[in-house]
Amino acid sequence: MKPIKVGLLGIGVVGGGTYDVLKRNQEEITRRSGRAIQITMVADLNVERAKQITGGSCDVVSDGNLVVTNPDIDIVIELIGGYGIAKELVLKAIANGKHVVTANKALLAVHGNEIFKAAHDKGVIVAFEAAVAGGIPIIKALREGLTANRIEWIAGIINGTTNFILSEMRDKGLNFDVVLKEAQRLGYAEADPTFDIEGIDAAHKLTIMSAIAFGIPVQFDKAYVEGITKLEAIDIRYAEQLGYRIKLLGITKRMPNGIELRVHPTLIPEKRLIANVEGAMNAVVVNGDAVGATLYYGKGAGAEPTGSAVIADLVDIARVATASPEHRVPPLAFQPGAIANIPVLPMSEITTSYYLRMHVKDQPGVLADVARILADATISIDAMIQKEPGEGANTTDIVMLTHQTQEKNMLAAIEKINALPTVVGKVTKIRLEELT
């Protein structure tokens, strides 16, 4: 059987890793797929570097259009990133009857509905295992392995940069700004780390997982996104005293009135496995009605882990490319006509528990005033730490964990607490999930 010919758009870190793994494991991959898979054409603006990586084994060009319109290319791998030229080339590849493999979570989270429709209309496959959690096969698990389940919720550490920063803050007691600089020095954070530290990268990935889990369109614009830039080392220490770890979580849940879709710092009980995921590692917990909670853990980024996921998609396409489109696994797991228009809930309607820290004057009645405001909002206190003032100090911290309440109720209560003359500064609020 003739080999499958692949065109690669972008041979940077992930592209280079994909090329190396495919070459190194060629025999094993062919045994699995039933056909040889060969990268025969590469497009990259840095033509000389691309030629060095490929060693003259394939055609190298600077214009991606030459790849997506080449009649000899069966599959196009898009590893350019972003929304601009990547979208243009992906749609052009589809229009030319090419299957597409992409690691571009931003593109799919924002333009996935358009891309999936174009692929469906043309009868080609768009595969994207590498777009979420690097080498962890979470997309395949959601689309295929858990297909018998009604997925109830997903919670994931899906950005290695932020998890590394939070791990360092906890281990060394340092504040965010200090650890961010160290992460940049070590190469864990980009020179411009905005997408990571503000939660945008995690929200892109969560949007894709939510669509697959619940059979809804990708709706990145409706996700609630909050990063880690305002987290303080003191809150990480208090959380530990109370038996919790703080992680940046992507959380999506099926609720009676809609779907939750949110990324934010979250307290998790330290006894949960996901709470003990440290450094730049990723982990995703999926809760299904039949299997309960399942955990997927591994490297969420890097040249070869992500390249591994890209090649897994190539093998899948090699296996099913000759099958009629209606017999293939749909991109979002559910048949296109069965995608549901379930609303994504606004953050004000979300119900969860909370960690509250307030810096207050050391005088009688402060705790009673705070407790009264919470009680009036029907918010009950689960646990509390009241620190003794330091020597010569006239202020101290009160830390509380609350039972579940709606976000809008908590925001209203915090506004009243902030207005108390005995409260110094603003209340710090971090959401809490038991993940049971």
Q: Which residues are catalytic?
A: 205
Find how far residue 275's CA is from the centre of its chain.
Answer: 16
Dihedrals phi, psi of 105, to nearest 5 degrees: -65, -35
Burial of residue 218 (CB within 10 Å: 0-12, 13-18, 19+) is buried
As beta bridge partners, residue 269 has 244
Question: Could you tell me the two tokens for 252?
Answer: 């999506």
User: What element of type H or E holds 370?
Assistant: helix 366-376
Cβ-based neighbours of 65, under 8 Å, separated by 6 or more:
89, 92
- DSSP class per residue in 263-297: EEEEEEETTSGGGG--TTEEEEEEEETTTEEEEEE
The SS3 assignment for 390 reads coil
Q: Which of 104, 111, 138 is nearest to 14 (CA)?
A: 104
Q: Write down the H helix ranges in 56-159.
A: 65-68, 85-95, 105-122, 138-140
CB atoms within 10 A of CB 200: 18
Q: Are 84 and 109 in contact (CB under 8 A)?
A: no
Q: Are 264 and 248 in contact (CB under 8 A)?
A: yes
Dihedrals phi, psi of 12, to nearest 5 degrees: -85, -140
Whether the CA torsion 274, 301, 209, 111 is positive or negative: it is positive
